[in-house]
Amino acid sequence: MSGGLDVLSLKEDDVTKMLTACTHIGSDNVDYQMEQYVYKRRPDGNYIINLRRTWEKVLLAARAVVAIEHPSEVFVISSRNYGQRAVLKFAAHTGATPIAGRFTPGAFTNQIQAAFREPRLLIVTDPAHDHQPITEASKPPTTDCIIPHNSCHPEEQKMTAVRYFNNHINTYDLHPHEKDLEM
C-alpha cells in the first residue's frame, strides 16, 4: 500500500505509538464490514484490530487529505466529546477547518446562511452520530442537468448528447444564424 517508499512503511516506532494510543483495541461486537480488519478476539470478548491494515488505511486517508489543494477546504467534524480534542489538534496541524461540537444544520447546503461552506473533503469521527454533515456534503450544490441513460452503445450516447444540446440551444431566443455559430 505504501507504494514501495521506505519512508511510508510501518516501523516499530509507529506500532509503539499506535499501541500506546490503544488503536488496536476494538469493542465486544463487530460489524460485518469491519471483520476484515480484525486480527483476533481476546478472552474478555473485545476484538483486536490489525495494525498493519490500520496503517494502510491511515496512508490512504493521508493521500486523500494531501490531494486537496487548499487545506481549509478539508472539514473535520466531531459532535461527540471523545473526538473533539482530536479534531482540534488535527486541524491545528494540517490547516483543516474544525467543527467541534454541534454542527449547524444547513451549513453545507443553505447558501443564504452566513456560515455557509463548501467542503472538498469531509472527515468525521462517528459517521452514525455525525450523519447530518455527511448528508449535506453529499448533496451537490448546483446540478445543471441529470441525464439518465442505460445504453452502452456509443452512437446512442452521442445522439443523447446531441438531443440534449439541441434542446438546450432551442431554449434561447437566438436567430437561426446564431444557432449555427453556437453549435
Domain residue extents for the chain: 1-67, 69-143, 146-183
pLDDT per residue as tens digits for the range 63-94: 888 888 888 888 988 888 888 888 898 889 88
∠21-26-29 over CA atoms, to 5°? 165
C-alpha radius of gyration, the chain, whole number = 24
pLDDT at 180 over 80: no
Three-state SS for 48?
A: strand
Q: Which amino acid, one-letter code, is at 36?
A: Q
Q: What is the mean pLDDT of the chain?
A: 76
Instruction: Tell me which residue has cell 472527515.
Output: 123
DSSP symbol at 97: E
- Could you tell me the pLDDT band of residue 15, with boundaries at 50, 70 and 90? confident
What share of the chain in percent tops pLDDT 90? Answer: 5
C-alpha cell at 62: 493521508
Q: Which residues pair with 40 in a beta bridge?
A: 48
Query: 69-143 has which fold?
Result: Rossmann fold (3.40.50)
Cα separation, 167 vs 161, in Å, equals 10
175-179 long-range contacts, CB within 8 A, separation 24+ = none
